[in-house]
Every structure is written in C-alpha cells, then in structure tokens.
Amino acid sequence: MNQQHQDERTRIREAMDRLLTGQATASNGGLTAVALAEEAGVHRMALLKRHADLKIEFYERVRTETKQIPESEKRLRETVSKLKKTLANKEQELRELRQQVTLLTLASAVLTQKKDPQVEPSPTADNVIPFRPSNL
C-alpha cells in the first residue's frame, strides 16, 4: 500500500467517526457513502472502488452504533417491497389469463364442433331442449 492510499484510509476512518458522532465539518452530515466521501475529502468512486471495505464498515457501524438503517438499505427495501407487490399482481393476472384461455378454448371447441350426419343423435330426455336445431 502506498502512502497516498494509506492517507485516504486514515481520512475516511476519521470522517466515519465525525459523521457517527454528528460532528460533520465538510458534508451535510448524512449517514451515506456520498457524505462519507465528501467528509473525508476523497472522490466518491475512490471510496466505492478502492476502499469498498471501509464503506461496508461504515454501514455496519451505522447499524450498530446509531441503531439506524442506512438510507441506501431503506431505498432497497422499498424497491423490493414494490417489486414483490408488482410480482404478486402479475402472477394473479397470469392465473386469470390462463383461466380465460381455457374457457375460450372450450368455447371455441363447442362452437366449431360439427355433427357428423351419419351418426344418429343421442336420445334426449323429454325435459332437455337442445341449443341448436337438430338439422345442423
């Protein structure tokens, strides 16, 4: 590890401590990776790429020390909840469409079925009225 890399890590850890104690000096004080990078004076992508372990450590400390859920996790939970609702709606719609396909297939079969003229119609009871005339 070179000196610049080590220096960034030191600044990020110090920024973590300031954010978690509510003593932010260079950021808005939010408990986010963006605020952490701003507070430490490092580029956000440096935090996300070179120091991903420190970002994870920061979010773990947010959970344990402040008993809060990080904003990114809240947004992900909301998105997951919305997606679960959407999926449930789509599954219900799919079930209804499958039932409709079955009913339409049966209706199509009944409507397109032709009687064979050589076959005698089956005897019907006195109380049954055919839907079609028997000469079809």
Write out pLDDT tens, residues 1-59.
Answer: 688 888 999 999 999 999 988 888 888 888 888 999 999 999 999 888 999 999 999 98
| Phi, psi of 80, deg, nearest 5 | -60, -40
Shared-domain flag, residues 95 and 50: no
Number of domains in the chain: 2
- Return the pLDDT at 17: 92
- Return the pLDDT at 98: 95
42 domain residue, yes or no: yes
Of the ranges 19-23, 59-63, 71-75, 130-134, which one carries the lowest mean pLDDT score? Answer: 130-134
Say if residue 81's pLDDT is above 60. Answer: yes
Q: Which of the listed residues 45, 68, 91 is the one where a domain comes to its end?
A: 68
24 domain residue, yes or no: yes
Q: Which of the listed residues 53, 68, 83 is the one where a domain comes to its end?
A: 68
Q: How confident is the model at residue 124 (pLDDT cuts 50, 70, 90)?
A: low
Shared-domain flag, residues 79 and 63: no
- Return the pLDDT at 119: 55
Shared-domain flag, residues 11 and 46: yes
pTM higher than 0.75: no
Q: Cβ of 110: how many Cβ atoms within 10 Å?
A: 9
Q: Which of the listed residues 16, 51, 68 is the one where a domain comes to its end?
A: 68
Shared-domain flag, residues 62 and 78: no
Shared-domain flag, residues 55 and 78: no
Q: How confident is the model at residue 112 (pLDDT cuts 50, 70, 90)?
A: confident
**Range(s) of the domain holding residue 58:** 3-68
